[in-house]
Structure 1
Amino acid sequence: MANESTRLSARDWALAALKAIADGGLAAVAVEPLARTLGVTKGSFYAHYRNRDELIEAALDEWVRGHGEGALTEFAAIADPARRLRELLATVVQSVRPLAPSVHLSLLGDRNDPRVRDAIRQVNRARLALLADTYEQLGLPPDRAAGRARIAYAAILGLLHLAQTEEESPNSAALSDEVAAVFLPI
């Protein structure tokens, strides 16, 4: 096991921590259980991180990178705002899985932790900015675009919340059409 630290990267640990956060919040991030899940000893952890707090910070950074501004560049590059919004909403609807844990929703339980609050704000800010810009490009004045963005984003988070307790998946194509009908200006 001398080379186990070379088999697992710091990112592997951060991704495992994110899965633990999705399943049980920050309290679920513990080195020994994560090492068991990853099939390594604690020594692998200490090859990458000094302590649990560093791992949590790395996991939150990974989540922000994967769900914030950087993750939205593909959608921001779509020139047609109606197509951009339709594809963004369809992607969200298709990613919602019944009983699937959500990092975002789990983090809300730890929102008093300043690191968590900052990560959530970064992701929320990036998502709301993209939505608001899209609505402005669709012709809404800035104040209405910002309001529509907040409502659309709240609906997205609501879909994630519902999926946490549902056992069956809704028809994602039909739901995508409904979401587009509600949130795309005619």
Structure 2
Amino acid sequence: MVNDSLRLSAQDWAKAALRAMADGGLAAVAVEPLARTLGVTKGSFYAHYRNRDELITAALAEWTRSHGPEALAEFAAITDPAARLRDLLTVVVQAVQPLAPSVHLSLLGDRNDPRVKDAVSKVNQARLELLTHTYRELGLPPDRAASRARVAYAAILGLLHLAQTDPDAPHSAALADEATAVFLTP
């Protein structure tokens, strides 16, 4: 049953669009199915957005905000670089759930879309900068710190990929311990 009295915000629509993107990329973002999922009519959508493209832009901005520099601020505030890296790896790896959809990985299928390219680039850049800075503070020279950051980040993305395809993936706590042991080694 559709509830027209339900007041959804623009952010509610953007978050619903992100859930759809996680399952099927940009192609999965469609107003009517989102309205059904949210239990409202399309009129609710048009109270916030003129069209699907505006919704996609807003959803990508929300993803960038929630996964980019703003989201990393709490980790950047940790003064001990080893503790920062340990906490970051633990949080990221423990968030990886078997067969769970990933906005980041789903967006790679739409990587030629300029909006997607920009959002993924911002998120990647923020994460790589934090990792590189952390490895620099741990004593690695600049080139080596940047290389280690890329390898650590690639491993994190690889774990996300494996989790999407492997229902028998190891428990995330064990993976977090292993990732911390590997990526804290100088």
TM-score interval for Structure 1 and Structure 2 normalised by the shorter chain: over 0.9
User: Alignment length, in residue pairs?
Assistant: 184
Report Cα offsets for 1:64-97 as digits up to 9, x if no partner: 0000000000100000000000010011110000
Alpha-carbon separation, structure 2, partners of 1:170 and 1:100? 14
User: Residue 181 of structure 1 corresponds to which residue in structure 2?
Assistant: 181
8 Å Cα contact 2:4-2:40 kept in structure 1: no
Identity of aligned residues (%): 76
Tell me which amino acid in the other structure corresponds to 1:95. Answer: A
Matched, 1:137 2:144: no
Q: After superposition, where does 1:1-186 map in structure 2 within 5 Å?
A: 3-4=5-6, 7-186=7-186
RMSD over aligned CA atoms reads: 1.0
Report Cα offsets for 1:1-53 as digits up to 9, x if no partner: 6544xx10000000000000000000000000000000000000000000000
Q: Per-residue deviation at 1:178?
A: 1.0
Q: Per-residue deviation at 1:176?
A: 1.4
Which ranges of structure 2 fall in alignment gaps of 5 or more residues? none
TM-score scaled by length of structure 2: 0.96
Answer with 100-109 or 159-168: which moved more: 159-168
TM-score scaled by length of structure 1: 0.96
Alpha-carbon separation, structure 2, partners of 1:2 and 1:92? 38
Tell me which amino acid in the other structure corresponds to 1:72. Answer: L
Report Cα offsets for 1:111-154 as digits up to 9, x if no partner: 00000000000000000000000000000011100000000000
Alpha-carbon separation, structure 2, partners of 1:175 and 1:119? 27
Runs of 4+ in 1 over 3 A off after TM superposition: 1-4
Tell me which amino acid in the other structure corresponds to 1:164. Answer: Q
Alpha-carbon separation, structure 1, partners of 2:169 and 2:39? 32
8 Å Cα contact 1:85-1:134 kept in structure 2: yes
